[in-house]
Structure 1
Amino acid sequence: MKRLLLCILLLAGMHAAQAQYYKTDTTSSERKGFDPSRLMIGGTLGLTFGSYTNINVSPDLGYRFSEMFAAGATINFQYASEKWEYTNGTVKNSYNVYGGGLWGRFYPFEMLFLHAQPELNYVSVKITDNTVDPKSTVKESHTVPSLLLGGGYSQPLGEGGGSSFYIMVLYDVIQETWSPYQNRPVFRMGFNIGL
Structure 2
Amino acid sequence: MKRLLMGILFLMTTQVVVAQYYKTDTSAHRGFDRSRLILGGSLGMVFGDYTNVDVSPLVGYRFNDYIAAGVNVNAQYGQYKSYDYYGNTLTRDKYTIFGGGIWGRVYPVPMLFVHIQPEYNAITQKSTYYDSNGAKQNLSTNYGVPSLLIGAGYTQSVGGRVGIGFSLMYDVIQDNRSPYRSNLIYRVGAGIGF
Pair 1:104-2:101 in alignment: no
Q: CA deviation at 1:132?
A: 5.5
Q: CA deviation at 1:178?
A: 1.2
* CA–CA separation in structure 1 for the residues paired with 2:60 and 2:111: 18
* CA–CA separation in structure 1 for the residues paired with 2:185 and 2:78: 15
TM-score by length of 1: 0.79
SS in 2 for 1:174: coil
Change (3 A) 1:150 1:89: closer
Greater relative contact order (Cα < 8 A, sep 6+): 1
Change (3 A) 1:180 1:167: same
- Unpaired stretches in structure 1, ≥5 consecutive residues: 1-24
Match among 49, 53, 56 for residue 55 of structure 1: 53
Q: Is the 8 A contact 1:150 1:168 kept in 2?
A: yes
Match among 21, 42, 64 for residue 44 of structure 1: 42
TM-score by length of 2: 0.80
Q: Which residue of structure 1 lines up, in the alignment, with residue 155 of structure 2? A: 154
SS in 1 for 2:131: coil
Q: Is the 8 A contact 1:62 1:72 kept in 2?
A: yes
1:110-189 paired onto structure 2 within 5 Å: 110-131=110-131, 134-158=135-159, 160=160, 162-189=161-188
Match among 69, 72, 75 for residue 73 of structure 2: 75
AA aligned to 2:49 is S
Q: Which residue of structure 1 lines up, in the alignment, with residue 10 of structure 2? A: none
| Structure number with bigger Rg | 2
The CA RMSD measured in Å over matched residues stands at: 2.0
- Unpaired stretches in structure 2, ≥5 consecutive residues: 1-22
AA aligned to 1:155 is Q
Percent of aligned pairs sharing the same letter: 45
